[in-house]
Structures are given as C-alpha cells and as structure tokens.
Structure 1
Amino acid sequence: MDGLLLNAVIYLAAAVIAVPIAKRLGLGSVLGYLIAGIVVGPWGLKLITDVDAILHFSEFGIVLLLFVIGLELNPRRLWQMRWPILGLGGGQVAGCTLALTALGLSLGWSWQMALAAGLGLSLSSTAIALQPLTERSLLGTPGGRSAFSILLFQDIAVIPMLALLPLLGGVTALEGDGEAGWVGALKAVAAVAIVIFGGRFLTRPVFRLIAATGLREIFTAVALLLVMGIALLMQLAGLSMALGTFLAGVLLAESEYRHELESDIEPFKGLLLGLFFTAVGMSVDFGLLFSEPGKVLGLVAALLAIKAAILLTVARIARLPGSQIALFAFLLAQGGEFAFVLFGSAAGVGVMDSETVALLTVVVALSMATAPLLVVVNDRLIEPRFSRIETRAHDVPEDEGNPVIVAGFGRFGQIVVRLLYANGIGVTVLDHDPEIIDTLRRFGFKVFYGDATRIDLLEAAGAAKARILVIAVDSQEASLALADLARQHFPHLKIIARARDLPHAVELMNRDIPVIERETFHSALRLGEETLKALGQPAYAARKKTLTFRQHNEELLKQIHAHWGEDMDKRITLQQQARARLQQNLEADEKAQQEVRGLGWD
C-alpha cells in the first residue's frame, strides 16, 4: 500500500508541475506529460522503474477515450462515415505498410520481419492524435473527421494483423492451432454480439433503475463497471478493448443517459490518459538511443517522413482545407501504442528477434514523443500562414442581460436578428466565422466570435439569464450538440431551431425542440405559389393550394418522426398514402374554389 501511494503521489506531482509549465510555454499538455514521464522514469530521477505494468494499466485511458467518442456518434452517423473509414483508413494503412516494409527490406531484414515491422509502424497513437483534436474542438472539422476515420480503421485493422503474424512465423508456429483459430474466431463473434445485444436492450433498463435511486456515485460506479466489463470481455476474446468500448459508446449515443455517462467518465479518462502519456515518456530507452544515436534517430526521422508524405497524399485526395493538412499529417505520422502489442506478438511467434523489437520500440516511443513538438511547429510556423484573422480579446461575449441568444449569423440567422433589433429586443449573437464577424461589425452589428457548443462561451453570453436560444448554425452536428448542451445545462431556455433538411428536423424533434423551421421550406412554398400563378392559376387558388400543401407536409413530418426508426419500406408506404390524401384534398379544394371565383378575390 505504501508503494502504491508513493507512486500515485509521484505521478500526480510530476503532472501538476510539468503540464502547466508546458501549457504556459505553448507546448501542449501531451508533451508536458511526456516530459514528466522522462523526468521520473528509469532514465531520469529513477523514481519509477516498473514501466511495463504502468503502461498496460494506463492503456485503460484510451479505452475510456474511445467510449466517450463513441457516445458522440450514433449508428446513423457512423454508417455515413463508412467510406472515409474504409477509403482513407485503408489507403493510409496499405500505403504506409508497403513503404515501411520496403524500408525494412533495405535494412537487410527478412521479408517476414520487414512486413511485421511495416504493419506495426503503419499504426498511429489514438490517444496522442485525438487529445489535441479534442482540446481544440477540431473533431467536427474535415481534418478531425478524417483523422478519426483513419484511427478507427487502424483499431479495427489490429485484429487481422495479429491473426497474420503466426502465418509469417512459419508452419511450426501454427501446429495444433487450427481448432484454436476457429475457437478464437467464435469467441470474437460472441463477444461483439454480446456488446451489441447488451448495448441495445439491457443498458437502458439498468441505467433507468440506477437513476431512480438518485445516488450519483452508484451511477458513476455502474458507468465504470460497464466500460471495464466490456474491456475485459474484449480482452478475453482476443479483441481490442478500445474498439469494444467504442462500439458500446456508439450503441448508447442515442440514450437519454448519454450526457450523464460522459460527465461521469470524463475525469477518469483525463487522468488515465495523462498517466498513459507519462508512461510513454518513461518507456523511452535512452540507453539504446545513446549507444546507437544515428541509427535510432535516423529510423525515427524516416518513420515520420514516410508516414507524413503518405498522409499528405491522403489529405489531398480527401480535399482537406489547406490550413488543416499539416496538422492532419503531423498528428498521425507517429507510431502507436498497438505497435508495442504487435512487436511483442511478432517476437512470440519467431518473426522478430529481441534486439529488433527493442530498437523498434524505442523508435515508436520517440516518434510519439515527437508528435506534440510537430503540433507546436504547425501552430507557430504553418497554421499562421493560413489563419488570416486571429482570435481577439473582444471576441469574448459580454453578458448584457439580453433575453435572446442567437447562435449563427449567416443568411438565416441575420434575418432573425434584424427583425428582433427592429422591434427593440436585445440580442447576443455568436458566430464562428471571423471574416463574417468583421464585415458585420462594419455595419454596426455586435457579433461575438466563438464556438457556441462550448459551455463557457454560452455562460459568458448570459445563457443563465436569457429566455430564448435561437439555433441558426450551418452545421447539423453543431446544431444538435448545442441543443443537447442547452437542454442539459440551461433547461429554462426555450429553444427555437433552424433545420437544414428533413433528417435534421427529425433529430431536433427527437430532442423535443418546441419550434423548428426548415430553412428553405417557406421560401420554396412561396416560389411554388408564384409558379402556379405564372401557369395561369388565380391568386386565391394558388394561395389556397399552397396552404393545403403546407398543412399536409407538416402532418407528414410528424408521421415520419413517429416511424423514423423503422425500415425504409414503412416510410415509403407512409409517404405514398400521404400523397394520395393530398391529391384528394386538392381535388376537393378545386371544386370549392370554383364557387368563389369571379367574386373579386383575384
């Protein structure tokens, strides 16, 4: 117990000292944890020596990270990402594996060893890549989504990679394992089936019972039990723990307890991720680095250069914005934590010798330690060239006691704001486009720059005192996230939301938003009415038919919402029936309108 407490004190003290200093110097929190690990580890002050045990334990932070990310992605969104995951992820892994295998062959390794090294080095660190994206709220950007797609594919690809290694070890490594291979496959399928079944049918009743007790600490305990239980199940089945918990998070993404789960797990995730980065810093073998500095640093540089070149190609294929390409490449160019697992397995089946495993391990660890430095280089030298307008002090909103907050001041939101201003109603306006903000301020509008989905920004804008929140942002993801955030933290706010299309409107209806307006619906109706008049329809008849269609469409939207989770055939049948009713209503209206024509209505 004394040793455990002493180690805990050392970890916390190192983090408390190193991370704030690194943040103050602009190096980022990840690099601060890595420096802390180097200082207290075997090659620093030698306060901690059992690095492997700490590294294995701290990997649970990655498990929690992917569970929380899964909570942000419902199955429909994940299905929409299938092509980026397969296309970008598959292209990155295949390209990096081929290039790095060629590098291994050039060093005189056997093709089996070179291929095993190429597979392991093609992977990137999920934690190191996602942490900066999460801190900067960049996961919703094109670069963030592409990086996440690649990382998710890599986590999935680890499974077939591990299955391939015994084949590279030769026939002797497979003797007597034919049945075991089938058993392992069945165990993996059973484990995934259990997670899917439990996530869809068992977790909500359990959380409902626990929530009814009103004991917050028990709810936290159940949340941790869920994640740890799934991780253990996946480990017993020989699968990635992080992948299993990510799947569970996706299945719970539409649960009413999603925000509670996220808030309860967040502190544990942050601490364990910090411990993981600290353990990576401790795992750097400076003895090997000092004995063969040229070879080690050369391999690190080659790894980063090869992966960065391939990632730049992937970024251009994905048509990422120029300002995000360098960050995308730098975040994914390093080696990953799963490389340690693959190299250990390769040594176990005789594909790699212990000296090569030690060399590649230190190369991966150093590349992971280099990644935060590359992010700093991007922030200070590359990103400023694309960022024409920087964040300014006056972009922090002021709480002026306005009754209305409008998020989004584009072509939709500005009409709402101008109408409110014209009627003497105070409005606090938030938008994320600095160029639009500068232009609008020249016309006298007071608009604040920032991400409205941040709780601190909403608080500063006066959400605690305001009466109405108008959501007029362009991004559907940001719109839904803002609605969820306002519901959770400012339940008194009445939300009025803009919907870009029918699926977006249904998602908002699922959140019980009282007022939802589809952005092009009324203008399209007006244009359709003018088209009827241009075709010779009397003005009164055109207006009446337009209003009939509007009423029909609003009723259809409610029916579609009620059956949204059902299969497509059911929804098609509903629309066909509604179309028939609309035709009958319009024919009845036509007969009635014949009686009023000629009475001067037109």
Structure 2
Amino acid sequence: MPQEGYLLQAAVVFLLAAVLTVPLAKRLQLGAVLGYLFAGVIIGPSVLGLIGNPESVAHISELGVVLLLFIIGLELSPRRLWVMRRSVFGVGLAQVLLTGGVLGVLALFVFGQPLNSAIVLGLGLALSSTAFGLQSLAERKELTSPHGRLAFAILLFQDIAAIPLIAMVPLLAGVDHNTTAAQDLNHGLEVLGSIAIVVVGGRYLLRPVFRIVAKSNLPEVSTATALLVVIGTAWLMGIAGISMALGAFLAGLLLADSEYRHELEAQIEPFKGLLLGLFFMSVGMGANLSLLLREPIVVLGLTVLLIVVKFPLLFVLGRLAGGLNKVSAIRLGIVLAAGGEFAFVVFKIGRDASLFDPRLYDLLVLAITLSMAMTPLLILLCARLVSPKVQPVVVPEKFREIDTDEPRVVIAGMGRMGQIVARILRAQNIKFVALDTSVETIELSRSFGGVPVFYGDPMRPEILSAAKVEQAEYFVIATDDPDANIKTAELVRKLYPHMKIIARARNRQHVHRLMDVGAHAIRETFHSSLEMSRQTLIGLGLTQDQADARIKRFRHHDEQVLEAQHAVYDDAAKVMQTAQEARAELARLFESDELEEQAKKH
C-alpha cells in the first residue's frame, strides 16, 4: 500500500476507535483515559492488528504530553512556581527517593536483581504518569484541589528527575561512551544555551511576534504560530538532551503573564486533546497481551505490588509533608500509584544496555500499562467510597428559558455590582436582561419583583444568542472573576464587533487587558476609594470644594496615566518609570492648586 494510503487508513482507524470507545467509557463513568487505552488495545497487534507499527505512532503521540505540559505552564507563572517550590523540590524529591528506595530494595533482595538493575528499577517505577494523572484530575475538575496541586508538584519534579535518570542508566550499565571532559562540557553548554534561548526568546521575541500575527486577523496563522512555539521549543530541548515535555512547560511558564495567554490556550487545546488521546491509545497498543495470557499471575502480581507499595508511601507523604487530610491523601495516592510514561523510556535504555533481559522488560511495560488502566477505575471507586454524595445543582426550567423582548442592555453577573446596575436601569424603565450561573443569586434577584435574570453562562455563544445580545446596545460584564471577564469580553467582541462593552476590572493590569479587546473598563474599587479619600481630606481640614477639586484632579490625572501606560503595560520597567513620573507630576499639580488657592485668598 502506498505511504499516503497507509497514513489515511491509520488516521481512519484511530478516529473510528476513539469515536466508538471513548463516549462509551464516559457513559459508563470510566473516564476518557480508559476509553482511549481500551481502543489502543483493540486496534493494536495483540487483538485486531489494524496498526502494524505502534512505535511509530508513539513518537507522534508524545506531542500530546508536550502540549499538555505547555498548557499547564500557561496556567502557572514564575511567581506561582516559586510559591510551589516546597511542594515541587521538597515533597517531590522525597517521593522519588523514598519510593525509589523501597522498590529498589525489593528488587535487590526479593527478586534477586543486581544492584545497578535494582537502582534503575526502583527509580523508574517511582515515576508516575504525568499524562494519566493530570488528565484524570482535569476530567474531575480537581487540578486546583489540595491533592491536585500536590500531585502536579510531584509530577513536575518527576519530569525534572527523569532527565538525570535517563542519563544515569548507561553509566550504571557500565557502557563506555568514550566521552571526554570536553565533550561533557560541550553538552552542558548546549543544555544551558537551549534554556537561555527559550528564556530570552519567551521574554523578548514572542510577544512582538504574537502582536504582529494578531494584527493579521488570520486564525490559521495564529494557530500555526502557537504550534511553532510549542513544537519548536520541544525540538530545541530534545536536541540538547532535555525532556521535550519539560521544555514545553518552560515555554508555557514564560508566556503565563502574556496578554496572549488565552489565545494560545484556545489554539493549542484541540491539538492537545487529540494527540493526548493518541498517546493513551499508543500505550494500549504496546501492551503484550500474549504475555498476560501466558503468565497472568506474574503480570497481575507485579501490577498489584507496584500499586500496593506506592500508595501507602504517597498517602504518608501527603499527610505528613503535604498537610492533606485523609480523603485528599487517599486521592493523591490513587492518582500517582501507577507507573509512568518516562519509565518506558528508562527501561528501554536499560534493556538496550543489557541491564534487563527482554522478558523482564515486557513484564515491566505490561505491569505499568495495567497500573495506568487501573487508575481511572480506582479514582471512580474512591469517589464512591470516600467522597460525600454531592447533589447536582437543580436549575428550574423557568430559569433556563430566556424570555426577553429586545433588551437595550445585557448584564453578565448579578452579584453586588450587577444588582446595582440592574436597579438603576429598572428605575429608568430601560429594558435589560441579566445572566448568572448561580441559582441562589437568580432566586434572590427574582424575589425582588420579577427581575429579568436567567440561568446561563455568558461565555457560551448559544446563551448570548438566546439573550438577544445582537439587539442590545450595551453589554455590561459585572462578574467578579477577572479571567472570565476577559474571556467574555473577547467572545462578545468577536461575535458582536459593534457592541459597546463595559466591564468590571480588578486592577490596572486587568484594565489594560480589557482595553485590548475594546472594552471600557471600570475598576471595582476605584470610585469608592476616591469617596473615602474625599471624606478623609474633609476630616483633615480641607473644605468640601477643596476636597472635590483634589479628587477631580486626581481622577483626571490617573485616567491620563492609565491611558499612557496602556502602550507599555507589558514592560515592567517602563510601567515603573511612568508611575514614578506620574507621582511627581501629581504632587506638582496639587502644589500648584494650593498656591492658586492661597493667591485667591490674598
């Protein structure tokens, strides 16, 4: 068969397997990960044999893990990572050393492995699956939970630790690479140079590039640029001998504070999902089921032993070092008890270096794969046994049916600010419709006399259409989530380019990002702070006219500074410079006002 035909056939097989098995697994509450894994087993060489070369697929599918780590990096920032340093380098290091030590001792004394093989076995099996763990947590919306944050920190350290471990395997095997000190120095310089290129490029080059691409208004170019950043960084790190996934994480981390973060995430997300699914399927295809049929007790025994050893160690670390409660520590142990994808790489190098015989390698790969397959089942079992039954939010049908008659204003969010806007509009007999995702808020608002507020997420286009946003003149965003406000403003601007948007802003940086999408930002505490200042000035001896004049002067001056800083708000040094100049200018203006008032008295 021609190469093009084979690629098309492989694509059809993968997509068909995913379409058939993943929705079924989700329906059975087993999770998408187990569905992809099962699909891989079915189409792999052990069952139907529809894909002849699983290893070639595995190389492409590794991009799924790379894109996953990039998006995780985007969700963090260097400041947040520094805050997590104790979890990453404290608990993470303790987990790898403790688990690796226990498993290594078992391999040495119970299974009679040589010391060098036992070290590689212990440390390799101590690693957990980043892809399986984070995907399982994301599916259950537990990434920001206490055990989710600690699991991420441990997985991040494991990804870092995998680099020296991979380099250490040939040394433990006694393989002589005939490397000189000069060659080692050159490799070290390559690693440092690659990291420097990523850091400098992410800080000074990527933002201007994205700014130019954004001005082109071509979505396909924006997508290509996002993929180029991720894959290019991973490729550069791979050349230097560093984990591609870790390189992508570093790139995402450097762009975490960028104004293009949400755009990047939106562009990468579909590719991440598909390629990550392909990765799970490739793991399933690599399972040697014939070995499982020949030696089921050995394979299942190794799988259970791996989980039984890792789970209590993770539970104890979570309780003592991570400060988790019992339920969260159990969840942490279940998520990380399985083996990881980096173990495949470590053990393959060990096999090639004659640390393990082929049979042991196949047993290890099969045990790790089965432990991964058990993780979603254990998470599901844990959720039913130790989690309290949470009743789903019941939304009355009358809250869902958006019934409005040509509103002039649409309000997103009926909290403190949204309610005040609604009251004033209602008193002025201006037609409006409000959206909120809190049933309690909707019930409270409606109890004050039939306020037109309905249940709906303003970040969903169909909800905006049902609310007849296209007929409105103003869209008021009053929710208290800065990221949600920006995403809502971006969506409204994209769908309704001529809409006037007024949005609630948390701080000056939030104001700038809202201004980027053409929204008029209102700082939530600005005007109340001005009123507090006015009352304080009057109490300190200024007349009411003098206090009003100072506040008016400050407001006008601050709005001018804010507008000037918008052009440089992504450059911290220039923002600091303009702020210092603005303080000096404001002092001069107040001094001039005082001199003018004194001159009038005389």
Residues 489, 117 of structure 1: CA spacing in aligned structure 2 closer, same or farther, 3 A cutoff? farther
Residues 20, 186 of structure 1: CA spacing in aligned structure 2 closer, same or farther, 3 A cutoff? same
SS at match of 2:77: helix
Letter in 2 for 1:81: R
Tell me the equivalent position of 1:272. Answer: 275
Letter in 1 for 2:501: I
More displaced stretch, 442-451 vs 42-51? 442-451
Q: CA deviation at 1:94?
A: 1.7
Tell me the equivalent position of 1:534. Answer: 539
Match of 1:163 among 167, 172, 181: 167
Are the equivalent residues in 2 in contact too, given 1:100–1:117 (CA < 8 A)?
Answer: no
Q: CA deviation at 1:526?
A: 1.1
Residues 333, 458 of structure 1: CA spacing in aligned structure 2 closer, same or farther, 3 A cutoff? farther
More displaced stretch, 5-14 vs 323-332? 323-332
In structure 2, C-alpha distance between the alignment counterparts of 1:514 and 1:215, rounded to whole Å: 22
Are the equivalent residues in 1 in contact too, given 2:91–2:322 (CA < 8 A)?
Answer: no
Letter in 1 for 2:87: L
Q: What is the CA RMSD across the aligned residues, in angstroms?
A: 4.0
Tell me the equivalent position of 1:123. Answer: 127
In the TM superposition, 1:342-491 aligns within 5 A as 342-349=346-353, 354-377=358-381, 380=384, 382=386, 384-385=388-389, 387=390, 390=393, 392=395, 394=397, 396=400, 398=402, 400=404, 401-433=406-438, 435-437=440-442, 439-443=444-448, 447-448=453-454, 452-455=458-461, 457-491=463-497
Tell me the equivalent position of 1:79. Answer: 78
Tell me the percent identity: 43
In the TM superposition, 1:197-346 aligns within 5 A as 199=202, 224=227, 227-249=230-252, 265-286=268-289, 287-288=291-292, 290-302=296-308, 305-306=311-312, 308-309=314-315, 312-313=318-319, 317=323, 330-346=334-350
Deviations 1:126-180 (A, max 9, x none): 333343555566667777666555544443333233334445445x556535443
In structure 2, C-alpha distance between the alignment counterparts of 1:111 and 1:397, rounded to whole Å: 68
TM-score (norm 2): 0.82
Tell me the equivalent position of 2:553. Answer: 548
Residues 218, 594 of structure 1: CA spacing in aligned structure 2 closer, same or farther, 3 A cutoff? closer
In structure 2, C-alpha distance between the alignment counterparts of 1:357 and 1:65, rounded to whole Å: 27
Deviations 1:22-61 (A, max 9, x none): 2222322222111212222344334445333322221122
Are the equivalent residues in 1 in contact too, given 2:91–2:321 (CA < 8 A)?
Answer: no
Letter in 2 for 1:19: V
**1:505 matched to 2:508:** no
SS at match of 2:541: coil
Deviations 1:88-130 (A, max 9, x none): 2223422321332243144242665454344333433333334
Aligned residues: 588
Letter in 2 for 1:29: A
In the TM superposition, 1:96-107 aligns within 5 A as 96-107=95-106
Letter in 1 for 2:499: L
SS at match of 1:292: helix
Letter in 1 for 2:43: V
Q: CA deviation at 1:297?
A: 3.4
Are the equivalent residues in 1 in contact too, given 2:43–2:49 (CA < 8 A)?
Answer: yes
Letter in 1 for 2:86: G
In structure 2, C-alpha distance between the alignment counterparts of 1:539 and 1:137, rounded to whole Å: 53
Are the equivalent residues in 2 in contact too, given 1:88–1:314 (CA < 8 A)?
Answer: no
Are the equivalent residues in 1 in contact too, given 2:502–2:519 (CA < 8 A)?
Answer: yes
In structure 2, C-alpha distance between the alignment counterparts of 1:577 and 1:200, rounded to whole Å: 25
Give the unaligned 5+ runs of structure 2.
109-113
Letter in 1 for 2:185: W
SS at match of 1:22: helix
Q: CA deviation at 1:279?
A: 1.6
Tell me the equivalent position of 2:185. Answer: 182
Deviations 1:258-284 (A, max 9, x none): 777655554443332222111222223
In structure 1, C-alpha distance between the alignment counterparts of 2:587 and 2:263, rounded to whole Å: 47
Q: CA deviation at 1:593?
A: 4.3
Residues 84, 165 of structure 1: CA spacing in aligned structure 2 closer, same or farther, 3 A cutoff? farther
Residues 297, 159 of structure 1: CA spacing in aligned structure 2 closer, same or farther, 3 A cutoff? closer
More displaced stretch, 127-136 vs 80-89? 127-136
In the TM superposition, 1:139-154 aligns within 5 A as 148-154=152-158
Q: CA deviation at 1:531?
A: 2.0
Letter in 2 for 1:188: V
Tell me the equivalent position of 1:600. Answer: none
Residues 113, 488 of structure 1: CA spacing in aligned structure 2 closer, same or farther, 3 A cutoff? farther
Deviations 1:403-461 (A, max 9, x none): 43333333333322332333334444344555545554555556555654455554554
Residues 380, 81 of structure 1: CA spacing in aligned structure 2 closer, same or farther, 3 A cutoff? same
In structure 2, C-alpha distance between the alignment counterparts of 1:206 and 1:177, rounded to whole Å: 40
Are the equivalent residues in 2 in contact too, given 1:434–1:449 (CA < 8 A)?
Answer: yes
Letter in 2 for 1:500: R
Residues 334, 558 of structure 1: CA spacing in aligned structure 2 closer, same or farther, 3 A cutoff? farther
Tell me the equivalent position of 1:558. Answer: 563
SS at match of 1:81: helix
More displaced stretch, 194-203 vs 47-56? 194-203
Match of 1:589 among 570, 586, 593: 593
SS at match of 1:516: strand
